[in-house]
Amino acid sequence: MLTIVAWIVVLGVLVAVHELGHFLVAKAFSMRVDEYSLGFGPSLWKRRWGETLYAVRMIPLGGYVRLGGMDGARRDDPRDFPNRPLGQRFLVILAGPVMNLLLAVLLYAMAFGPIGQPVPTTTVANTLAGYPAAAAGIRPGDRIVSVDGHPIRNWTELQKTIQRHARQPIAVAVARGRHVRRISLTTRYDRQVKAWLIGIQPATRAVHLGVLPAIRRGVSDTAQLAGAWFGAMVRLVEGHGPNVEGPVGIAVQVGIAANLGFYYLVLLSAALSLNLGLFNILPFPVLDGSRLFLIGLEGVRKKAMDPQHEGLIHLAGMVILLLLVVLVTFHDVASLVGARGSS
């Protein structure tokens, strides 16, 4: 249930922000906006304010902004999208992807600023049954203060020190309240993580950046991820690209992030927002990128494409995109079933 709710909320926010970009720029240029809708299919809620119908629809797999004249019928209304200057139309279409990139920056900044990055500490959050720490009486809330008489300042130091004691006794000083206990342990090798352990999980504390450092981190992480995205696209064209996940695969990732904590859900949402924005600039029929391409082509030819021909191009693109979604979803489900069957 958490996975479903988190997926609907995350997707809803990403789509709402994307469509809000189209909506706000169209309104700024005084274009007629007939509808702002989240989802597809029958409406669950709708209301008209002024000339615009606002709706939430049953199928939460996208959304749209319906601008005057974009249905293919050419009218003389100067506020219709096809009758506006070419530059204005270009900016209206571009605004959707740009809003997703800005949202990615904002979400990253929130994650490292007010939400705070969780950093592991030397305080014990949990002990693993059957491991030396639990057998020696270490409990949640205890704090590791030294190993073999050497002070331990952070979790990384503790991990490195434990790894140096393979099959060897280790003297651990544990603080519990005002009292310090000294315990002798022998590390145990875990085949799954391929490391020597004493069997403790760390408590974390949130580290918060200031406003400006958080924004700089948001811009930096967004730029780095965008560079990685374009690199992946190049490798995909060369036939060496990564596996592509569909709605089911992404929903699984959202569920995992939601279970890990709000910080990780926000990080994943930032990455998904950036991917949505960049994916939409691809010159594939029905995506924003194809509309940008056709507007650019109109500028070169000094002549708009016939609305019926453009409609057929977008319809064909919609069919191909839906088939790809079905194919990728089938692959996601098959992989998920296979993973559960082998576990």
User: Which residues are catalytic, by number?
Assistant: 19
Residue 178 contacts by C-beta under 8 Å, 6 or more apart in sequence? none
Q: What is the dihedral of CA 144, 148, 150, 155, to 10 degrees?
A: -40
Residue with tokens 């949130």: 206
DSSP secondary structure letters along 224-273: HHHHHHHHHHHHHHTT-PPPPP-HHHHHHHHHHHHHH-HHHHHHHHHHHH
How many Å apart are CA 113 and CA 240, to the nearest integer?
36
Residue with tokens 């990139």: 101
Residue 33: how many other CB atoms lie within 10 Å:
22
Three-state DSSP class for residue 75: coil
